[in-house]
């Protein structure tokens, strides 16, 4: 049915199902590739001209009649990859809503004065290679291509290897200022990852800001030995140190109101019940509106880990995997969106998005759709059918407004 994002989402509900619940759709996996093909099929069916850029971002173009080139384009879209155990909507809702919004615009008889692009960004979650928003970081130059080529997944396979196998050329990745220069605006619609709209009893919100967030890898090395034969005073046990990292993070974050700190990944090597570990890898995710506060928390947790490591005879290294400063979405664009959607409240978010990374180069805005549980990165994430429809209508209205603005660079 025209304009129905619910139907589109239903079509992909069986792709990449995680055995433990929710979805596992990591970048370049069979599931993610199937989702990309699904997108291409639907975009092509709508007469959009689909291309894959050199960073693996899909762009589906609706060219404006009588214009030359693609300057002044308005873009929308989101991502199709998921975290392990992710929900139905984080990413795919924005992609399905963008396709549905094209249908709504056509049904409304809109004749765009600017090109419209529907974009799909790869590896937004950073679940496979550790760096979030990898596609948007590459196109904006926020991450060096040589670093990306060398990133490894949990099986130890490099981005270069995996992307080559999937049919991409890892040598071509990198900043693409020319493509970014063609965009006059990017609007990402996303399921809300909190209860803001549920509490306000509204279906759709405008994005205000994304709070600063980053990821750090803490590697603690000790000495493997026998769990029974090694005296307690002879141990150099990295698990004991890592437990201090987790405890220090929780304690330190609680000292900074509104900060968030998470250890969601913890790997013990070699991982035997009767083996004192040789090393532990811990990943920190720390967020707060104040960038300095995020950095201070990580510095304090690093210091606490180092002190524990010294007491245990272990060593520690801490590597920053990514850092995203606080992003205030473009004020003029938000004011325009507010004129189109006067009822929509403005909400900030603690979640990262490609829109936040693109904001350094393109005026960006976001729309959030109500999530009654407020949960995300879990199958508990929700978006009701009527709210999804309201999101599509809202997106279509914002796009309509932007697409009807004359483009000064066109004759």
Query: Which residue, 83 or 102, is less far from ligand GLV as judged by CB?
Result: 83
Closest distance between ligand GLV and the C-beta of residue 315, in Å?
29
Closest distance between Mn ion and the C-beta of residue 233, in Å?
45
CA distance 187 to 72: 14
Query: Which residue, 259 or 351, is less far from ligand GLV as judged by CB?
Result: 351
Pairing state between β 183-191 and 73-79: parallel
The two structure tokens encoding residue 12: 């992909």
Beta bridge partners of 130: none
Residue 352 site contact among Mn ion, ligand GLV, none (CB < 5 to 8 Å, cut-off depends on kind): ligand GLV
CA distance 3 to 397: 13
Query: Which residue, 75 or 132, is less far from ligand GLV as judged by CB?
Result: 132
Q: The tokens 């004991």 sit on which residue?
A: 240
CA distance 388 to 370: 8
Name residues contacting ligand GLV, limited to 336-365 (CB under 6 A): 351-352
Closest distance between Mn ion and the C-beta of residue 20, in Å?
17
Contact between 77 and Mn ion per CB under 5 A? no
Provide the phi-psi class of 368: left if phi over 0, else alpha when psi is between -120 and 50, else beta. Answer: beta
Q: The tokens 């004749």 sit on which residue?
A: 111
Q: How far is CA 57 from CA 51, 113, 119, 364, in A?
A: 8, 24, 7, 17
Q: How far is CA 229 from CA 272, 306, 407, in A?
A: 15, 27, 76
129-168 footprint of ligand GLV as x/- string (CB under 6 A): ---x------------------------------------
Closest distance between ligand GLV and the C-beta of residue 265, in Å?
12
Residue 91 site contact among Mn ion, ligand GLV, none (CB < 5 to 8 Å, cut-off depends on kind): Mn ion
Residue 132 site contact among Mn ion, ligand GLV, none (CB < 5 to 8 Å, cut-off depends on kind): ligand GLV
Write out the H or E segment, with its range, that includes residue 67: none
Contact between 196 and ligand GLV per CB under 6 A? no
Whether the CA torsion 137, 142, 145, 147 is positive or negative: it is negative
Number of residues near ligand GLV (by CB under 6 A):
4
Q: The tokens 């509106």 sit on which residue?
A: 289
Residue 101 site contact among ligand GLV, Mn ion, none (CB < 5 to 8 Å, cut-off depends on kind): none
- Chain-centroid distance of CA 296 in Å reads 24
Whether the CA torsion 47, 48, 52, 57 is positive or negative: it is negative
Residue 131 site contact among Mn ion, ligand GLV, none (CB < 5 to 8 Å, cut-off depends on kind): none
Contact between 125 and ligand GLV per CB under 6 A? yes
Beta strand residue intervals within 331-389, DSSP E: 346-349, 364-369
- Considering just the CA atoms, what is the radius of gyration of the chain in Å? 23
- Contact predicate 206/344, CB 8 Å: yes
- Contact predicate 369/189, CB 8 Å: yes
Contact between 391 and ligand GLV per CB under 6 A? no
Contact between 32 and Mn ion per CB under 5 A? no
Closest distance between ligand GLV and the C-beta of residue 172, in Å?
26
SS3 381: coil
Name residues contacting Mn ion, limited to 174-213 (CB under 5 A): none
Query: Which residue, 191 or 390, is less far from ligand GLV as judged by CB?
Result: 191
Contact between 72 and ligand GLV per CB under 6 A? no
Name residues contacting Mn ion, limited to 80-109 (CB under 5 A): 90-91
Closest distance between ligand GLV and the C-beta of residue 287, in Å?
8
Closest distance between ligand GLV and the C-beta of residue 31, in Å?
18
Residue 135 site contact among Mn ion, ligand GLV, none (CB < 5 to 8 Å, cut-off depends on kind): none
Pairing state between β 275-276 and 346-349: unpaired
290-329 footprint of ligand GLV as x/- string (CB under 6 A): ----------------------------------------
Query: Which residue, 64 or 132, is less far from ligand GLV as judged by CB?
Result: 132
- Contact predicate 81/91, CB 8 Å: yes
The contact set with Mn ion (CB under 5 A) reads 90-91
The contact set with ligand GLV (CB under 6 A) reads 125, 132, 351-352
């Amino acid at each position: 049915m025209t304009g129905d994002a619910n139907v589109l989402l239903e079509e992909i509900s069986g792709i990449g199902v995680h055995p433990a619940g929710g979805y596992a759709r990591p970048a370049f996996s069979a599931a993610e590739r199937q989702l990309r093909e699904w997108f291409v099929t639907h975009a092509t069916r709508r007469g959009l001209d689909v291309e894959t850029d050199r960073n693996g971002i899909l762009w589906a173009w609706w060219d404006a009649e009588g214009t030359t080139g693609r300057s002044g384009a308005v873009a929308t879209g989101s991502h199709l990859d998921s975290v392990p155990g992710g929900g139905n909507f984080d990413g795919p809702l924005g992609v399905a809503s963008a396709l549905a919004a094209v249908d709504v615009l056509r049904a409304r008889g809109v004749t765009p004065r600017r090109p419209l692009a529907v974009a799909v960004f790869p590896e937004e979650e950073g679940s496979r290679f550790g760096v979030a928003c990898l596609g948007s970081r590459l196109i904006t130059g926020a991450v060096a291509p040589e670093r990306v080529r060398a990133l490894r997944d949990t099986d130890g396979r490099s981005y270069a290897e995996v992307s080559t196998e999937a049919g991409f050329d890892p040598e071509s990745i990198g900043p693409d200022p020319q493509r970014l220069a063609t965009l006059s605006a990017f609007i990402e619609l996303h399921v809300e990852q909190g209860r803001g709209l549920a509490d306000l009893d509204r279906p759709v919100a405008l994005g205000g800001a994304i709070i600063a967030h980053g990821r750090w890898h803490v590697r603690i090395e000790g000495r493997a030995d026998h769990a029974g034969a090694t005296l307690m005073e002879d141990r150099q046990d990295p698990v004991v140190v890592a437990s201090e990292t987790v405890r220090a993070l929780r304690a330190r974050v609680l000292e900074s109101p509104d900060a968030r700190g998470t250890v969601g990944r913890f790997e013990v090597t070699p991982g035997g019940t009767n083996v004192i570990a040789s090393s532990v890898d811990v990943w920190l995710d720390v967020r707060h509106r104040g960038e300095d506060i995020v950095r201070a928390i990580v510095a304090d947790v690093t210091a606490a880990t180092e002190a524990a490591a010294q007491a245990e005879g272990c060593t520690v290294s801490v590597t920053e995997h990514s850092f995203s400063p606080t992003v205030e979405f473009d004020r003029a664009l938000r004011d325009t969106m507010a004129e189109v959607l006067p009822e929509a409240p403005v909400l900030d978010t603690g979640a990262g998005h490609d829109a936040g990374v693109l904001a350094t180069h393109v005026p960006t805005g976001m729309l959030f759709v109500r999530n009654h549980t407020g949960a995300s990165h879990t199958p508990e994430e929700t978006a009701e059918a009527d709210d999804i429809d309201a999101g599509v209508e809202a997106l279509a209205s914002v796009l309509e407004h932007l697409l009807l603005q004359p483009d000064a660079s066109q004759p």
